[in-house]
Amino acid sequence: MAGFGESFGLHAQALVLRSQRNEILASNIANAATPNFKARDIDFKSVLSAAAGQGGLQASHAGHISKTQTTDGAEHMYRVPVMPSLDGNTVELSVEQMEFSENVTGYQTSLTLLNRRINGLFSAIKGE
């Protein structure tokens, strides 16, 4: 029998990852005027795939280069700007706002799906 936490599926993990990504994107937006600040992000799809056990890139030879990850399991990458600024800041406000909005929409979608799953479990418990 599956545990209670396992019944939430991938939605709970997606919610945590989207929350972490929101923090990173908000930090980018907050530092839009900070000289030499480098905009960061995570590759949501690959991190979620790894969390789901689907892996991503696998080393098939001992000579292959391994990826480095942070303690939260997400590999932080730096965004390459379309129009670099003279002060070394790589934050492009329009790009960051678009990514943030897209991520918030995904967060709300995961939250809605998770809420439906919880309501379904409550209905099953009540015998409805």
The residue ranking higher by pLDDT, 40 or 69, is 40
Please report which residue ranges of 31-92 form alpha helices under DSSP H: 44-51
**Whole-number average pLDDT of the chain:** 81
Which is nearest to 75 in space by CA: 86, 61, 65?
A: 65
Is the pLDDT confidence value at 66 over 50?
A: no
What pTM did the predictor assign?
A: 0.74
Query: Average pLDDT of 40-52?
Result: 86
| pLDDT tens per residue, range 77-115 | 998 888 889 999 999 999 999 999 999 999 999 999 999
Residue in this structure with the two tokens 């908000």, named with its chain if needed: 26
| pLDDT tens per residue, range 21-30 | 999 999 999 9
What is the per-residue pLDDT for 111? 93
42, 71 contact by CB (below 8 A): no
Can you give the residue ranges of every domain in the chain? 8-126
Q: What is the DSSP letter of 85?
A: -
Q: What is the DSSP letter of 9?
A: T
| Structure-block tokens of residue 57 | 């890139």
Report the percent of the chain where pLDDT is more than 90.
44
Residue 89 CA neighbour count, 13 Å, CB half:
15
